[in-house]
Structure 1
Amino acid sequence: MGLFDNSKVIIIGDRDGIPGPAVEECLKSTGAEVVFSSTECFV
C-alpha cells in the first residue's frame, strides 16, 4: 500500500516553477486520483 493509494489530490502548479501537469504525471503511478490540476501565476 502506497502513501497516495485511494487519495484524492488537488494540484496547484507555478508558471515559473513546476507546472500542474508535470506534477500530475508524477502522481499517476502512485494510485492517487487527481480531482483538480491547474498552473497559476503568482506575482
Structure 2
Amino acid sequence: MLWSDPEDEPPKDLRDMQETLRRLGLFMALAMILAMIVIGLR
C-alpha cells in the first residue's frame, strides 16, 4: 500500500449512519424483549 493511497475508512457521514443503525437495532431488540415480558405477564 502506497503512502499516497487514500485511507480505506468510510466517510464520516456513513460511519455516523452505521452507528445510528447499530443503536436503533439495539433499541429495537430491547423493546422486543420488553414487549415479550409484558405479554408473558398478562
Question: Please, what TM-score do these two structures have when normalized by structure 1?
Answer: 0.27
Question: Please, what TM-score do these two structures have when normalized by structure 2?
Answer: 0.27
Determine which structure has the larger strand proportion and give its number. Answer: 1
Give the structure, 1 or 2, with the largest relative contact order (CA under 8 Å, sep 6 or more): 1
